A = this chain, B = another copy of it.
Amino acid sequence: MKEALDGFREECAVFGIWNHAEASRMTYLSLYAMQHRGQESAGIVTLSEGQHLIHKGLGLVGDVFSEDELKRLKGRASIGHTRYSTTGQNLLANAQPFHAELLRGPVAVAHNGNVVNHKTLKSKLRSTGAIFQGTSDTEIFLHLLSKSQDIPIIDALKLALPTVDGAFSLVFLTQKKLIALRDPWGFRPLCIGKLDDSWVVASETCAFDLIGATYVRDVEPGEIVSMDDDGLQSTFYAKKETKAQCVFEHVYFARPDSKVFGISVYESRRNLGKLLAKESHVDADLVIPVPDSGTPAAIGYSQESGIPFEFGIIRNHYVGRTFIQPSQSIRDFGVKIKLNPQSEILRGKRVIVIDDSLVRGTTSKKIINLIRNAGAKEIHFRIASPPTVSPCFYGVDTPQKDQLIASYRSLKEIQDYVGADSLAYLSMDGLYKSVNGDNKKFCAACFGEKYPTAIE
């Protein structure tokens, strides 16, 4: 129950396909499947007879593309992108993929992540005459490519990428191949799949499931994978860094039916709930999730604790992106339009409420209040992740540090603020165990761990 209210927000999905008779349509469907990763804009670039065909627009994938538009986007290779809402005007100028005509021919790029040293890089590029049209950092990659035009593109990438700090899972389409690569830390996911004679790459495997592709493996941190009619080629452009894969993908961002960093998201979320139950057990009558984001963890909590799982709050899935606000007269309207607690289930009960994370606390406060008004006797609030105390600089839209309630209030103060009878977070140790990894593989900077890169 996070989007648009009070939470972290994923910023993009990328996709690519090589050698498919309906390349633009497969891209469209895959973006559709990854719509949760970005709802502001969508775009597709195809390769047709040596030229790039492009369509981008503001809005949901289903609104941006029409049947006619997909028919116009001919070609057997294609990349696509969806983007989350960001501040600022001129949004269309920031819609991806970006495209440019270089001396080597047309190049298009779709980016999930965020370049940390973008100011330094942009001002260096500007001083040599580069022009930036949008405010996005993704244009940097095209400009870097244009600096060494006489060598093969893979070599040009190997030359350019070591100067870039930060998170970048990238998909390129050129006149001759599809290229997929990840930064040396592997912040954001990127998977390789196979669909008959086609290669596909996507941010999440749920895209593969929809189009009937099979998951092969992840693109590795620091790896450049290029796909063309001669098959798949791999090379590494950077020495192996300590992996720093975003653990919040498992906490909240990814679809539960995706495999991310090779691990089932649903399973890791259920694990988060199980370990939470072990760490902070409390006697109660019911375990209920804040749907949908808290649901898998609540199931895990119930399984571990033996306390019955119920949907004590019903989520209205018919809520569109926009609706007209009522006057101020309806209290907590923003939460009520989506979530409706059920007094028949809750009245007189001791309830454990599971949410995936707690960011500002404002939404949690309203939810706890609604549950209280529905008649719950005790409310034990359990968060299936540790306290979020630091902003992210790697492609996630997070509030400033001083908006993160756990960065300036004690556990007891937060419990009082949201109005729960008890409050507990998962430990860092529990978090890492849930994704059956050790702490060496993940970035958990938002939970107070060290930032893997320098920050400008």
Residues A299 and B292 in contact, CB atoms below 8 Å apart:
no
A337 contact set on B, CB distance < 8 A:
29, 32, 210
The interface residues of chain B lying within 8 Å CB-to-CB of A303 are: 308
Q: Which of B100, B211, B266 interacts with A345 by CB under 8 Å?
A: B266
Query: Are B267 and A344 touching (Cβ within 8 A)?
Result: yes
Question: In the assembly, what is the distance between CA of A50 and CA of B88, in Å?
Answer: 15
A204-226 vs B, CB cutoff 8 Å, 1 = contact: the mask equals 00100111100000000000000
Per DSSP, are chain A's interface residues mostly helix, strand or loop, or mixed?
mixed
Give this chain's copy count.
4
Chain B CB within 10 A, most for which of A29, A98, A255, A309:
A29
Contact B344 A317 (CB under 8 A): no
Whether A257 contacts B340 by the Cβ 8 Å rule is: yes
Instruction: Write the nearest CB–CB distance from A455 to chain B, whole angstroms.
Output: 22
A129 in contact with B146 (CB, 8 Å): yes
Let me know if B311 and A89 touch, CB within 8 A.
no
Given A129-B147, A310-B299, A311-B296, is A209 in contact with B324 using a C-beta cutoff of 8 Å? no
A92 interfacial contact with B, CB 8 Å:
yes
Q: How far is the CB of A101 from chain B (nearest CB, A)?
A: 5
Is A418 in contact with chain B by the CB < 8 A criterion?
no
Task: Please state if B103 and A131 are interface contacts (CB–CB under 8 Å).
Answer: no
For A314, what are the chain B residues with a Cβ–Cβ distance below 8 Å? Answer: 206, 255-257, 266
The answer on a CB contact under 8 Å between B89 and A72 is: yes
Nearest chain B CB to A278 CB, angstrom units: 17
- Please tell me if the beta carbons of A311 and B266 are within 8 angstroms of each other in the complex: yes
The CA-CA distance from A32 to B340 in the complex, in Å, is 14
- The listed residue (B32, B93, B259, B310) touching A54 by CB distance below 8 A is B93
Contact residues of A between 168 and 204, Cβ < 8 Å to B: none
Which residues of chain A (4-32) have a CB below 8 Å from chain B? 22, 25-26, 28-29, 32
Write the residues of chain A forming the contact surface with B, with a CB cutoff of 8 angstroms.
Answer: 22, 25-26, 28-29, 32-33, 35-36, 53-55, 60-63, 65-67, 70, 72, 89-90, 92-93, 98-103, 123, 126-133, 135, 139, 142-143, 146-147, 149, 206, 209-212, 255-257, 259, 264, 266-267, 292, 295-296, 299, 302-303, 308-311, 314, 316-320, 322-324, 326-327, 329-331, 333, 336-337, 340, 342, 344-345
Identify 18 new A-B residue pairs, CB closer than 8 A, beyond the known A54-B90, A66-B324.
A22-B327, A29-B323, A29-B326, A35-B318, A62-B322, A65-B324, A67-B324, A99-B133, A129-B143, A130-B146, A131-B146, A212-B331, A256-B342, A259-B344, A264-B342, A266-B342, A267-B344, A302-B309
